[in-house]
């Protein structure tokens, strides 16, 4: 059903919190995602022209690099881009077949590839470019938040997180229930403030991004050059004068 579900009281809101202050842009999440969500040689996330002129394929997660200026501060920002599991997911409501849906119990947006007709309207409806067509199977593909991991009772509890989160070497990616104010992700958001991508468009994304910060060290003003230009100034001589004990 492509109507967006009413949020039931107590329902979970699973999502990612991605720390732009920590993401080094290494593509680890993107590749591990592709690996988990494909079957190796028998892959279900297709690749096209693997060793030729236009190497391409379906990925659920893509890593961009930007140079930004904000408040007089210039920096390089790496941005992993994937499905944000929006609360107002237009990709769901435009779907004519019901293949695209948002789960009632945890808010994850999924595609039922058995129902998808490959009309691609959902991809058009997504402002984040998070849906990619599987041109071999003719169905739309997107991030599942690793639904086959997070609910897999056979996995140890610590491993029940999306592959991108488990593999992130800088630990810039966090997964949890954003509806639960006591969850780690909620606390992180509380402490750091979360960014919505394209907030004006009103999709109300579930995934949040933590803004880059700038740590500083308040310190005494730097000493001015010593008057004679010799570093062996009074401070050092005084220091060297002190008795030592080896």
Site for other proteins in 59-78 (CB under 8 A): 59, 62-71, 74-78
Q: Which stretch binds other proteins (CB under 8 A): 5-13, 102-110, 133-141, 177-185?
A: 133-141
Q: 77 forms bridges with which residues in the sheet?
A: 66
Q: Which residues inside 4-63 make contact with other proteins, applying CB under 8 A?
A: 4, 19-28, 30-32, 34-36, 39-42, 47, 49-59, 62-63
Q: Identify which of residues 76 and 105 has a Cβ nearer to other proteins in the complex.
A: 76
Residues 213-232 that bind other proteins (CB under 8 A): 213-223, 225-226, 229-232
Does 143 engage in binding with other proteins (CB under 8 A)? no
The full length of the chain comes to: 246
For residue 148, give Cα distances in angstroms to 16, 37, 96, 144, 220.
Answer: 16, 9, 26, 8, 54
Residues 6+ apart with CB under 8 A from 95: 2, 101, 121, 122
Comparing CA positions, the residue from 217, 216, 215, 198 lying closest to residue 207 is 198
129 binds other proteins (CB under 8 A): yes
Nearer to other proteins, 12 or 134 (CB): 134
Vertex 39 angle, CA 35 and 43, to 5°: 100
Q: Least distance in Å: CB of 244 to other proteins?
A: 5
Euclidean distance between CA atoms 134 and 164, whole angstroms: 20
9-17, 103-111, 158-166, 179-187 -> range binding other proteins (CB under 8 A)? 158-166
193 near other proteins (CB under 8 A): no
d(CA 141, CA 112): 9
**For other proteins, which residue of 7, 128, 180, 187 counts as binding (CB under 8 A)?**
128
């Amino acid at each position: 059903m492509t109507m967006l579900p009413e949020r039931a009281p107590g329902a979970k809101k699973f999502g990612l919190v991605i720390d732009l202050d920590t993401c080094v842009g290494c593509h680890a999440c993107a590749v591990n995602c592709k690996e988990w969500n494909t079957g190796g040689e028998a892959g279900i996330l297709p690749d096209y022209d693997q060793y030729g002129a236009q190497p391409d394929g379906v990925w659920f997660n893509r890593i961009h690099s930007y140079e930004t200026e904000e408040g007089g501060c210039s920096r390089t920002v790496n941005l992993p881009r994937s499905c944000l599991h929006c609360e107002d997911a237009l990709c769901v409501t435009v779907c004519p077949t019901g293949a695209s849906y948002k789960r009632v119990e945890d808010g994850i947006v999924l595609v039922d590839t058995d129902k998808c007709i490959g009309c691609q309207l959902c991809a058009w409806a997504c402002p984040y470019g998070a849906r990619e067509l599987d041109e071999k199977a003719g169905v739309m593909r997107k991030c599942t938040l690793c639904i086959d991991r997070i609910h897999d009772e056979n996995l140890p509890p610590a491993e029940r997180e999306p592959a991108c989160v488990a593999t992130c070497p800088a630990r810039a990616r966090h997964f949890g229930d954003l509806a639960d104010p006591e969850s780690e992700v909620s606390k992180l958001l509380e402490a750091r403030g979360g960014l919505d991508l394209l907030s004006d468009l009103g999709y109300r994304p579930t995934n949040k991004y933590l803004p880059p910060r700038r740590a500083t060290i308040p310190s005494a003003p730097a000493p001015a050059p010593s008057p004679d230009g010799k570093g062996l100034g009074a401070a050092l001589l005084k220091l060297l004068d002190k008795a030592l004990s080896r």
